[in-house]
Amino acid sequence: MNKKAIWAIIGLMSAAVLGVVILQMDLIRTAVQVNEARFEKNIYAALNSVSRRLKVEESQDILNNSLNGFSAAYFQETREFSNGGPLKRPPGKVWENLPLPGNGSALNRNDLFEWLITELSNNCNTPECKARKDTYRTLMVYFEQSAREFPLEQRIKLQQLDKFLKRELSNRGIDTEYTYGVFSRSSNSFIIADGHYVVEDAHPKELLPGFQTIFNSRYKVDLFPEENPSPGMLMIHFPQRTSFVWRSLWLNFIGSIIFTAIILFCFAYTINVIFRQKKLSSMKTDFINNMTHEFKTPIATISLAADSITSPIIAGKADKVSRFANIIKQENKRMNSQVEKVLQMALLDKKDFSLKISDVNLHDIIHRAVENIGLQVEQKGGQATAELNAANPMIEGDSIHISNIINNLLDNANKYSPDEPDITVATRSVPNGVEVSIADKGIGMNKEQRKHIFDKFYRVHTGDLHDVKGFGLGLSYVKAMMTAHKGQIDVKSEPGKGSTFILFFPFKH
């Protein structure tokens, strides 16, 4: 798959994921708006219902007190309502000789109210009945007008208000915390708050924090709205309104976040896999090219040496035959070494290997490795030195693999130092182990190259020339072996200034 196709797929997938996220957020926003509208509708319906109930209760109280007073002494000038207000005697004698149920005895308030409603709705045509209905209407209007003269706090019973409010909110499924208050227009202050009368004046300009939140609430209705102007307002505030509105949406919202996160994770992971596979494909292609080049030279050399041995001119010369046979042997050994590296990395990938742990002297291994690389370095006019300063070079590990680690790093230092290599191997004691540093003054690496040097098949580019041999497996092997020995490896490098590999070997495996 080419690069343009990959980016086209990424673009389409990004647009699709973004579209799903936008649509989901829009659905949640719409659901929140619907919940808020339903909440407000229910609140206003509850408050208006409470206002109507208060009006009905007041009417029932008026009728109960007034009509019972026809047979008792309720219309005396000093007689007072049960709600605290004095009731004046109506003009004339409209209250006399009314046919009250029970012969004027005390009546149940609800029964009396129902009786009066029935009487007023009676479709009678006799003059006596019409006169009686006119008298009832006159009394109701008169007593309602009398009630309006009372202060608002005397017209509302605390227990009734609290009970009505709780019932109406509960009937509409609103079970969240709330605070409420009754605001009087005549005194310009709150007279009732949360089931209690307000003793001190709570003027809106000097409201306490609790009253301020109620006064600023959007949820308020007029009390006794048929009076003009209304004597006061019922206000209610919900401190946890937002959480209540979101209560039924939290599960959907959290689910949307979780599933969207899963989609984004899978999307990101898929993109990462695509790029890794593309990179791996490119690295394997380079590996095959390098392997072909590495095998081509020894195969050609072996072929020439074999042709020379079979030539009649050379076949009779033992020294010539021996020379060409040694060439074949060396090239065969070289090819076998390359194949072993590939097979060894396959075992490392499968973790199908075991270390032969023993006491290892790091200084001895470094001495031998520096001597071996020294011959190659000297041919290029350079030098390889060892500065062994560790007080205790004895560690536990596999001597063969540790030797391969040092030799691989020295071989890289030599290969990537084109002019007069200057390689230094140093050791020093650190807590719980020994630190080994292998420094060169070669071509160095940039930041991006340092990130990938321990990947399989990765090789630092040296231009179009194939002057640095290898499959890109050496540092990957070094990293795997350091991990197997419970050690650590780090690299410091700058382009043109060389590289330094720092190894940490613990004393105990």
Residues 75 and 176 in one domain: no
Report the number of distinct structural domains present in the chain.
Answer: 4
Is residue 249 in a domain? no
Residues 94 and 131 in one domain: yes
Q: Residue 37 burial (CB < 10 Å; 0-12/13-18/19+)?
A: exposed
Q: Average the pLDDT over each of 29-43, 90-104, 409-423 and give the range with the smallest value.
A: 90-104
Is residue 270 in a domain? no
Q: Average the pLDDT over each of 95-104, 187-196, 402-411, 470-479 and give the range with the smallest value.
A: 95-104
Q: Containing H/E element for 220?
A: strand 219-223
Instruction: Give first-to-last CA distance, the chain, whole Å.
Output: 45
pLDDT (0 to 100) of residue 474: 73
Number of helices (H) and strands (E), helices first, in the chain?
14, 12
Q: How many residues does the chain have?
A: 509
504's tokens: 């940490």
- Residue 435 forms beta bridges with which residues? 428, 504
Residues 177 and 50 in one domain: no
Q: Residue 141 burial (CB < 10 Å; 0-12/13-18/19+)?
A: exposed
User: Tell me: the pLDDT tens digits for 432-458?
Assistant: 999 999 999 888 888 888 887 887 666
Residues 131 and 215 in one domain: no
**Helix, strand, coil share of the chain (percent; to 5):** 55, 15, 30
- Residue 80 forms beta bridges with which residues? 86
Is residue 257 in a domain? no
Question: CB under 8 Å to 358, separation ≥6 — which residues?
Answer: 396, 397, 398, 399
Residues 424 and 472 in one domain: yes
Is residue 464 in a domain? yes
- Which CATH number covers residue 436? 3.30.565.10
User: Over 80: is that where the pLDDT of 475 sits?
Assistant: yes
Is residue 35 in a domain? yes
Q: Hey, is 229 helix, strand or coil?
A: coil
Structural domain of 32? 3-153
Residues 186 and 286 in one domain: no
Last residue of a domain, one of 126, 153, 180: 153
Residues 292 and 380 in one domain: no
Across 299-321, average pLDDT: 80
Residues 198 and 302 in one domain: no
How far from the centroid of its chain's Cα atoms is residue 441's Cα? 48
Closest by Cα among 364, 431, 361 to 396: 361
Question: CB under 8 Å to 60, separation ≥6 — which residues?
Answer: 109, 110, 112, 113
- Which CATH number covers residue 311? 1.10.287.130
pLDDT (0 to 100) of residue 136: 65
User: Over 50: is that where the pLDDT of 76 sits?
Assistant: no
pLDDT confidence band for 501 (50 / 70 / 90) = very high
Rg of the chain's alpha carbons, rounded to an integer?
A: 50
CA atoms within 13 A on the CB side of 189: 14
Is residue 433 in a domain? yes
Residues 300 and 373 in one domain: no
The whole-model pTM stands at: 0.46
Is residue 264 in a domain? no
Residues 121 and 190 in one domain: no
* DSSP code at position 89: P
Closest by Cα among 325, 326, 335, 324 to 293: 335
Give the Cα separation of 341 and 296 in Å (integer).
Answer: 17
pLDDT confidence band for 117 (50 / 70 / 90) = low
Query: At 214, which amino acid appears?
Result: I
Last residue of a domain, one of 153, 176, 192: 153
Question: CB under 8 Å to 384, separation ≥6 — which residues?
Answer: 370, 373, 374, 377, 410, 414, 421, 423, 424, 425
User: Over 60: is that where the pLDDT of 51 sits?
Assistant: yes
Is residue 261 in a domain? no
* Beta pairing, strands 422-430 & 383-388: parallel
Residues 344 and 228 in one domain: no
